[in-house]
C-alpha cells in the first residue's frame, strides 16, 4: 500500500505530462506568460526527475542494459540537439513493462515502456513518440502542470491521507477502499487540467514533429504510429488480443482527426519547407494561426532537403540499430528466457527469421544457458557475423558467447578490439568488465578495474557502473572499496536507507584509509537528512524495518 501511495505522490509531485481527448478544432495553446518557471529552479527539477528514476529503480521497473541504453540515449540525444531547446539535457530510460506507453517528467527525464518499442515498425516511429515527449519538456508542459496542480494540492493530499487510513484500518476491503479513494484523487487532479492538457498535446504534436524532421526522421512516422495504436485499440475493443488497451492511449488519446492532422502537417513540411525556414507558425494552413509560437524554431533548407529524402525511407538514421535493439528488448523484457524462446518459435512458424531476429534468438539461448544452448547461440552468431561485418550488436554477443563457453581468449580479443574502436564506450566497457569479473580470480578482476576506473567521473549516477565496480573490487579482494561501491549502487537505485546503513557499517571498519573514511563521512552527512525526511513521511524501507544500527536509529 505504501509503495502505491509513494508512486502516486511522485506522479502528482513531479507533474508527469498527461493528456485527455482532444480535437483539431480546439486550437488554444497554453498561456506563454506562465509563472511556472518560478516554482522550481532548473537544478531542483533535475533533482526531482532523478528522485523519480531512483524510486522506479527501487521497485525494479527500469530495464538497465548497456547496449539498449546506448541505442536509446543515442536516438534521444539526436532529437534533443534538434529540439526547441537544444541546450537542455535529457535523460531517456527504458521500463520493463510491455504495455505501450511513454512519459516525460521534470528535469528532462523521459521514460519509454518496452511495449512501445516492440509495437513500433521502425526507429522513426519510436523517434516520433520521443520527439513528442521532448516537446512536453521544452514547452514547459510538465512544469505548468505542477503549477496548476498546486490548486488541488490540499484535496488530493487529504484524499491520500484517507487512503493511508483505510489501508491501516485492516480488513478485507481496506485495500479496495484505499485504491478507490486514490483513484478519486487522481480523477480530481486530472479533470481540473483537462482543458490545459488538450492544448498541450496539440502543441507537443506540432513541436515534436518539427524536432522529428530536424533530426532526419520520416515526417510521416507520427501519423503511422498513431494509426498503429488506433488499429490496436480497435482490435482490443473486439477482444482480439484479449488484453487491456495500450496505456499510451489513456494519456495520449488517438482519434481519426489527430491522425489526419499529423499527416497534413507532414505533407505541408515536405511540400513547403520555407514555412519553417521563415519562422511561420507550426501547422499554418490547417487551422493553427497562433502567432505566439517561438519564431526561433526554424529548419535550414539543407536540413529540410535531408528530411524530405528521409521521408521516403522506412527507417531513420540508425534504422539498422533499431532492428537489433528491438530483438534484444524482446528477450530482456521477459522475466523467463524460455518465454522469449517460445516467441521466436512462434515467429519462425510464420516465416524465416530476419538477421536481427536470429540475433535475438541467440541472446535468448545465451540467457537460457546450458551447453547445448550456448553452442546453438554461437553457431547462430557465427553465421550472422559473416554477413554483418562490423555490426556491434553481433560482435558484442559473439564475445559474450565465447566467454560463457569458456573460450575467454577469443572473447577478450573481440572486447579489446572493440575498446580500441570505441574508447570509453559505456556498453563495451561494462560488458567486458563483467566478463572479466565473472572469472572469479584476482588477476582478471584487476583487469576489470583498469577498464572501469576511468569511467567514474562520466557515470556518477549509473547503478550498473557502481554494481560492476563493486563486484570487481570484491573479486580483487578489496572489501572496503567494494563496500563503498555497493553502498553507492544502493543510493543511486533509490534504496536511500540501505545506502546509509551500508556507509555506517563501512565507517566502523578498522582498516579504512583516509580516502575511504572521508568518502563514507561525506555520504553519511548527505544521506542521513534524506532518510529522516522519508521516515517523517512514514516511508521506511521494508527490508530494514525494525532494525537499529546505531544510537540514532540507523
pLDDT digits (tens, 9 = 90+) for 116-173: 999 999 999 999 999 999 999 998 877 777 666 555 554 444 444 444 444 444 444 4
Q: From start to end of 96-211, where are the E strands? A: 102-105, 109-113
| Closest CA relative to residue 120, chosen from 262, 213, 206, 224 | 224
**What distance in Å separates the CA atoms of residue 328 and residue 324, rounded to the nearest whole number?**
6
Question: Three-state secondary structure along 418-431?
Answer: HHHHCCCCHHHHHH
User: For residues 71 and 425, is the Cβ–Cβ distance under 8 A?
Assistant: no
Between 32 and 413, where is the model more confident?
413
Q: Structure pTM? A: 0.77
Q: Can you give the pLDDT at residue 245?
A: 58
pLDDT > 50? residue 532: yes
pLDDT at 236: 60
pLDDT band at 34 (very low <50, low <70, confident <90, very high): very low
- pLDDT for res 338: 85
Q: What is the sign, positive or negative, of the torsion defined by CA atoms of 18, 24, 26, 32?
A: positive
Supply 453's cell numbers: 576506473
DSSP secondary structure letters along 164-195: HHHHHH-STTHHHHHHHHHHHHHHHHHHHTHH
pLDDT exceeding 90 applies to what percent of the chain? 49
Count of residues for the chain? 554
DSSP state letters, 254-323: --HHHHHHHHHHHHHHHH-THHHHTTPPTTTTTT---TTS-TT----HHHHHHHHHHHTSSS-TTHHHHH
What is the Cα–Cα distance from 447 to 411, expressed in whole angstroms?
A: 14
Buried b / exposed e along 321-347 (16+ C-beta atoms within 10 A): bbbbbbbbbbbbbbeebeebbebbeeb
Which residues lie across from 62 on neighbouring strands?
95
- Dump pLDDT digits (tens) for 446-460: 999 999 999 999 999
Q: Is residue 234 predicted with pLDDT exceeding 50?
A: yes
Say if CB 499 and CB 466 are below 8 A apart.
no
Q: Is 391 helix (H, G, I), strand (E, B) or coil?
A: coil
Cell numbers describing residue 94: 527504458
Q: Which of the four pLDDT bands, split at 50, 70 and 90, describes residue 538?
A: confident
The lowest-confidence range among 247-251, 289-293, 490-494, 521-525 is 289-293
**Is a pLDDT exceeding 50 seen at residue 335?**
yes
Sheet arrangement for strand 109-113: 91-95, 109-113, 102-105
Mean pLDDT of 543-553: 54
Return d(Cα 195, Cα 149) in angstroms, integer: 13
Q: In whole angstroms, give the CA distance from residue 549 to residue 234.
A: 56
Which range, of 35-39, 329-333, 349-353, 500-504, averages the lowest pLDDT?
A: 35-39
Lowest mean pLDDT among 51-55, 63-67, 320-324: 51-55
Write out pLDDT tens, residues 349-403. 999 999 999 999 999 999 997 778 999 999 999 999 988 889 999 999 999 999 9
CA geometry: angle 319, 320, 322, nearest 5 deg: 65
- For the ranges 7-21, 168-182, 425-439, the lowest mean pLDDT is seen at 7-21
413-434 as b/e: b if 16+ CB within 10 A: ebbeebeeeeeebbbbbbbbbb
Q: How confident is the model at residue 242 (pLDDT cuts 50, 70, 90)?
A: very low
DSSP character at residue 243: S
The per-residue pLDDT for 27 is: 33
71: left (phi over 0), alpha (psi -120 to 50) or beta: alpha
If you average pLDDT over residues 282-309, what whole number do you get?
A: 36
* pLDDT for the residue numbered 474: 98
Q: So what's the pLDDT on residue 382?
A: 93
What's the confidence (pLDDT) of residue 45?
83
Cα 30–24–193 angle (5° rounding)? 40
Confidence class for position 114, pLDDT limits 50, 70, 90 = very high
Q: Which of the four pLDDT bands, split at 50, 70 and 90, describes residue 298?
A: very low
- Give the mean pLDDT of the chain: 77
What does the pLDDT read at residue 141? Answer: 79
Rg (CA), the chain: 25
| Degrees to nearest 5, angle at CA 123 with 122 and 128 | 110
Instruction: Read off the pLDDT of each residue in 261-278 and give the average, rounded to a whole number.
Output: 72
For residue 193, is pLDDT > 90?
A: no
At 485, list the grid cell.
Answer: 561501491
Region 18-45 average pLDDT: 49
Structure-derived torsion over alpha carbons of residues 297, 300, 304, 310, reported in degrees to the nearest 10 = -100
pLDDT at 260 over 90: no
Amino acid at each position: 500500500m505504501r509503495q502505491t501511495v509513494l508512486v502516486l505522490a511522485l506522479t502528482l509531485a513531479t507533474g508527469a505530462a498527461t493528456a485527455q481527448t482532444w480535437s483539431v478544432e480546439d486550437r488554444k495553446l497554453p498561456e506563454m506568460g506562465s509563472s511556472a518557471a518560478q516554482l522550481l529552479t532548473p537544478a531542483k527539477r533535475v533533482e526531482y526527475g532523478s528522485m523519480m528514476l531512483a524510486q522506479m529503480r527501487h521497485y525494479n521497473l527500469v530495464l538497465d542494459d548497456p547496449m539498449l541504453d546506448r541505442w536509446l540515449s543515442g536516438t534521444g540525444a539526436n532529437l534533443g540537439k534538434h529540439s526547441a531547446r537544444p541546450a537542455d539535457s535529457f535523460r531517456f530510460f527504458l521500463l520493463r513493462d510491455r504495455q505501450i506507453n511513454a512519459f516525460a517528467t521534470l528535469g528532462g527525464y523521459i521514460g519509454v515502456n518496452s511495449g512501445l518499442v516492440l509495437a513500433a515498425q521502425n526507429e522513426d516511429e519510436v523517434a516520433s513518440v520521443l520527439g513528442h515527449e521532448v516537446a512536453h519538456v521544452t514547452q514547459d508542459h510538465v512544469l505548468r502542470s505542477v503549477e496548476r496542480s498546486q490548486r488541488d494540492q490540499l484535496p488530493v493530499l487529504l484524499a491520500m491521507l484517507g487512503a493511508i487510513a483505510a489501508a491501516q484500518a485492516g480488513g478485507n476491503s481496506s485495500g479496495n477502499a484505499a485504491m478507490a479513494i486514490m483513484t478519486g484523487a487522481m480523477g480530481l487532479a486530472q479533470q481540473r487540467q483537462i482543458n490545459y492538457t488538450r492544448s498541450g498535446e496539440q502543441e507537443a504534436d506540432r513541436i515534436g514533429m518539427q524536432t522529428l524532421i530536424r533530426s532526419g526522421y520520416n515526417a510521416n512516422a507520427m501519423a503511422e504510429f498513431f494509426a498503429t495504436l488506433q488499429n490496436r485499440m480497435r482490435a482490443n475493443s473486439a477482444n482480439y488480443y484479449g488484453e487491456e488497451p495500450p496505456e499510451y492511449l489513456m494519456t495520449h488519446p488517438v482519434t481519426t482527426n489527430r491522425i489526419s492532422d499529423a499527416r497534413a502537417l507532414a505533407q505541408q513540411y515536405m511540400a513547403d519547407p520555407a514555412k519553417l525556414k521563415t519562422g511561420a507558425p507550426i501547422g499554418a494552413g490547417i487551422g493553427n494561426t497562433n502567432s505566439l509560437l517561438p519564431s526561433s524554431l526554424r529548419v535550414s533548407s539543407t536540413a529540410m532537403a535531408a528530411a524530405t529524402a528521409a521521408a521516403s525511407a522506412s527507417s531513420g538514421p540508425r534504422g539498422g540499430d533499431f532492428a537489433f535493439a528491438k530483438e534484444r528488448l524482446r528477450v530482456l523484457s521477459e522475466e523467463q528466457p524460455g518465454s522469449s524462446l517460445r516467441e521466436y518459435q512462434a515467429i519462425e512458424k510464420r516465416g524465416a527469421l530476419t538477421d536481427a531476429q536470429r540475433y535475438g534468438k541467440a541472446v535468448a539461448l545465451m540467457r537460457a544457458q546450458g551447453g547445448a544452448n550456448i553452442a546453438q547461440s554461437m553457431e547462430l552468431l557465427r553465421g550472422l557475423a559473416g554477413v554483418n561485418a562490423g555490426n556491434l550488436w553481433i560482435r558484442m554477443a559473439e564475445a559474450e558467447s565465447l566467454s560463457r563457453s569458456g573460450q575467454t581468449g577469443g572473447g577478450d580479443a573481440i572486447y579489446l578490439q572493440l575498446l580500441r574502436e570505441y574508447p570509453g564506450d559505456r556498453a563495451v566497457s561494462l560488458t567486458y568488465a563483467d566478463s572479466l569479473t565473472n572469472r572469479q580470480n584476482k588477476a582478471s578482476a584487476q583487469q576489470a578495474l583498469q577498464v572501469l576506473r576511468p569511467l567514474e567521473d562520466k557515470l556518477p549516477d549509473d547503478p550498473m557502473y557502481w554494481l560492476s565496480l563493486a563486484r570487481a573490487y570484491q573479486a580483487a579482494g578489496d572489501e572496503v572499496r567494494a563496500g563503498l561501491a555497493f553502498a553507492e549502487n544502493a543510493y543511486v537505485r533509490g534504496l536511500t536507507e540501505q545506502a546509509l546503513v551500508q556507509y555506517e557499517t563501512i565507517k566502523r571498519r578498522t582498516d579504512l584509509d583516509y580516502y575511504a573514511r572521508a568518502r563514507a563521512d561525506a555520504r553519511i552527512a548527505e544521506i542521513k537528512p534524506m532518510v529522516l525526511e522519508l521516515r517523517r513521511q512514514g516511508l521506511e524501507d521494508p527490508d530494514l524495518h525494525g532494525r537499529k544500527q546505531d544510537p540514532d536509529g540507523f
